[in-house]
Amino acid sequence: MDIGVLLPTGTAQWAKDDDPRELITLARAAEHLGFTSLFVNDSLISPRIEALTMLAALAPATETATLGTGALLPFLRRPIQAAQSLASLDLLSAGRLTLAVGAGYPGRFGRPFYDLSEVPWARRFARLDETVTLWRALWQGADSFHGEFHHFTDIPPALRPYRPEGPPIWLGGATPTALTRTGRLYDGWLPYPPDPADYTTGLHGIHQAATAAGRTPDAVTPALFVTVRIDEDPEHAHRAADDYARATYGMPLAELEKIQAVVTGTAEQVTERLNQYVTAGARHLVTRLAALDLPTHRDQTERTAALIPGLLSHHALRG
């Protein structure tokens, strides 16, 4: 059972006088408090520190925590250069890199990125899968690659990552096709379903797809991306999460809760709700803390860390 935290790399989560270099301090504090992973987001929709740059800064500043992306958008980068950057991060972190990847979503949170990247929107999922296959081939020493989207011959020797097989690669998304692709090709699953029952259903579909592909179900790490806000007053927690939803997505919390896992309330209420996802099968929780300045994020980090023993004990009881 792993419990991680998403670092607030976007300017929408900073107050006017916040120093972005404090993100390193936040990361160290989270690791010290017991979080086993530190994740960053990847986007062009709002100003933020670039994901791989942030992880490069974290690699020498942290010691044991997994360094992850939630989720990386590979189409924003040239594939061979990205493979080199990722191998470099895996080396600099001594094998602590985990990549959750995605292809983007319709609407303003996805399609405009393709225009900026000069990459076609059509067949984006096939392009994503092929890019991941290319990365793995390069990390294994391939000197050529010929797919539907990428054609390379006489590829110079690529930098090998810390682990011979390369960093684990997870997939975000919970559509039926995403579940099949996760079970067939990926090392983990990072969705954010609002209902724990949907998590159970999705995980079952992944296990079926993995078995059909000749893989064991435990080859896929079941993770969860979940927004969290803790307060002694449940109404205050709800209002703070609503402020976060409006600042981050331009929509009220009531709308965000329809499409993403969001848990607010007292420490006891949040623990109970998160444990429902643990019961549903989640084994790596990536918590995004609903805070709009770095001091509040630090406070929420400490509050969430206090939940870790209860989450671990619930997992142990579940066997």
Within 8 A by CB and 6+ apart from 96, the residues are 59, 62, 64, 65, 66, 67, 90
Give the residue-averaged pLDDT of 199-220. 98
Evaluate if residue 319 carries a pLDDT over 80: no
Q: Residue 110: its pLDDT value, please?
A: 65
Domain positions in the chain are: 2-318
In whole angstroms, what is the distance from residue 314 CA to residue 212 CA? 31
Please tell me the total number of residues recorded for the chain in this structure: 319
Query: Predicted confidence band at 161 (pLDDT cuts at 50, 70, 90)?
Result: very high
In whole angstroms, what is the distance from residue 222 CA to residue 278 CA? 10
Q: How much of the chain, in percent, has pLDDT values that exceed 90?
A: 90
pLDDT tens for 194-204 read 999 999 999 99
Q: Residue 220: its pLDDT value, please?
A: 98
CA gyration radius, the chain:
19
Q: Residue 104: its pLDDT value, please?
A: 81
What is the SS3 assignment for the chain?
Answer: CEEEEECCCEHHHCCCCCCCCHHHHHHHHHHHHCCCEEEECCCCCCCECCHHHHHHHHCCCCCCCEEEEEEECHHHCCHHHHHHHHHHHHHHCCCCEEEEECCCCCCCCCHHHHHHHCCCCCCHHHHHHHHHHHHHHHHCCCCCEECCCCEECCCCCCCCCCCCCCCCEEECCCCHHHHHHHHHHCCEECCCCCCHHHHHHHHHHHHHHHHHCCCCHHHCEEEEEEEEEECCCHHHHHHHHHHHHHHHHCCCHHHHCCCCCEEEECHHHHHHHHHHHHHHCCCEEEEEECCCCHHHHHHHHHHHHCCHHHHHHHHHHHC
Q: Residue 121: its pLDDT value, please?
A: 85
* Interstrand relation of 151-152 and 145-146 (parallel, antiparallel or unpaired): antiparallel
Q: Residue 108: its pLDDT value, please?
A: 63
In whole angstroms, what is the distance from residue 84 CA to residue 81 CA? 5
Q: Residue 112: its pLDDT value, please?
A: 75
**If we measure between CA atoms, which residue out of 208, 226, 238, 231 comes closest to residue 278?**
226
Give the residue-averaged pLDDT of 88-98. 98
Report the mean per-residue pLDDT for the chain.
Answer: 95
How remote is the C-alpha of 65 from its chain's centroid?
Answer: 14
In whole angstroms, what is the distance from residue 216 CA to residue 185 CA? 12
Q: Which residues pair with 146 in a beta bridge?
A: 151
pTM of the model: 0.96
Query: Predicted confidence band at 317 (pLDDT cuts at 50, 70, 90)?
Result: confident
In whole angstroms, what is the distance from residue 158 CA to residue 19 CA? 36
pLDDT tens for 58-87 read 999 999 999 999 999 999 899 999 999 999
CB 97, CB 89: distance < 8 Å = yes
Class of domain 2-318: alpha beta
In whole angstroms, what is the distance from residue 36 CA to residue 307 CA? 13
Is the alpha carbon torsion for 52, 189, 22, 108 positive or negative?
Answer: positive
pLDDT tens for 222-265 read 999 999 999 999 999 999 999 999 999 999 999 999 999 999 99
Give the residue-averaged pLDDT of 126-138. 97
Q: How much of the chain, in percent, has pLDDT values that exceed 70?
A: 98
Q: Residue 318: its pLDDT value, please?
A: 73
